[in-house]
Amino acid sequence: MKRCLDDREINMTILLADLLAELREDHRNMATMLDLLERDLERIRHSEEPDYELIHDILRYMTVYSDAVHHPKEDLLYGAMKAEDPSLSAGLDKVEPEHRELAILGETLRNDVEAIASGATVTRFRLVADMTDYVERLREHMSWEEGDLFRRADELVAAESAMFVAISHLDKLDPVFGPEREHSFANLLQNIKDLAES
């Protein structure tokens, strides 16, 4: 028998829809980061000098926001989905390991760029391989989430599920795309603007 939702549960349902909207917006922003990385990847492939400072800024953003806020929010969402409706849980066990893998790939690339900045030798082959791995794996991961996992969550929203995802401890503002932009990302913001206008 379907029970009636109380006010608190209705608010929780709204929260799930809002969370999905936020995660989708994060993906659009992350795709912009990957477009910028790909632009530099092409430069390296053509033996041109990439903008290492920009690559480093992108990876710093991915560490402080995507790895530290976006992915943990998704982990909570998927955990709650699984608890709410086990029939929606196929493949969800793979998500957390993929998030860890993406953080490691990002750290590897960041280490390459920091090594270059400190004067150490990093071969073009290795830099291209590490950048390609990062861009491809993150694109694949986001595409899986958008084409499959987020759609399963949409089903819960459509079914007016009383599902609640407690994300308050992760309620941090995006330092690049949020309302309070961090000054240290000024160069990255200018590149995003230039990319949009190109």
**Is 101 exposed, middle or buried (CB count within 10 Å of its CB: 0-12, 13-18, 19+)?**
middle
Q: Closer to Fe ion by CB, 56 or 73: give it.
A: 73
Closest residue (Cβ) to Fe ion? 74
Amino acid identity of residue 112, one-letter, is D
Task: Tell the smallest beta-carbon distance from residue 46 to Fe ion (Å).
Answer: 31
Residues 6+ apart with CB under 8 A from 36: 54, 58, 188, 191, 192, 195
Maximum separation of any 2 CA atoms in the chain, in Å: 68
- Interface segment toward Fe ion; rule CB under 5 A; list 42-50, 66-74, 169-177, 179-187: 66-74
The tokens describing 136, both together, are 């491809």
Q: Closer to Fe ion by CB, 104 or 186: give it.
A: 104
Task: Tell the smallest beta-carbon distance from residue 130 to Fe ion (Å).
Answer: 20
Q: Find the binding residues for Fe ion in span 75-94 (CB under 5 A).
A: none
The tokens describing 152, both together, are 């399963």
Task: Tell the smallest beta-carbon distance from residue 123 to Fe ion (Å).
Answer: 30
Task: Tell the smallest beta-carbon distance from residue 62 to Fe ion (Å).
Answer: 11
How many residues of this chain bind Fe ion (CB under 5 A)? 2
SS3 23: helix
Neighbours of 121 (CB within 10 A): 7
User: Closest by alpha carbon to 23, among 191, 149, 192?
Assistant: 149
By CB under 5 A, tell whether 74 contacts Fe ion.
yes
Q: Find the binding residues for Fe ion in span 127-146 (CB under 5 A).
A: 145
Q: Closer to Fe ion by CB, 65 or 185: give it.
A: 65
Interface residues with Fe ion (CB under 5 A) are 74, 145
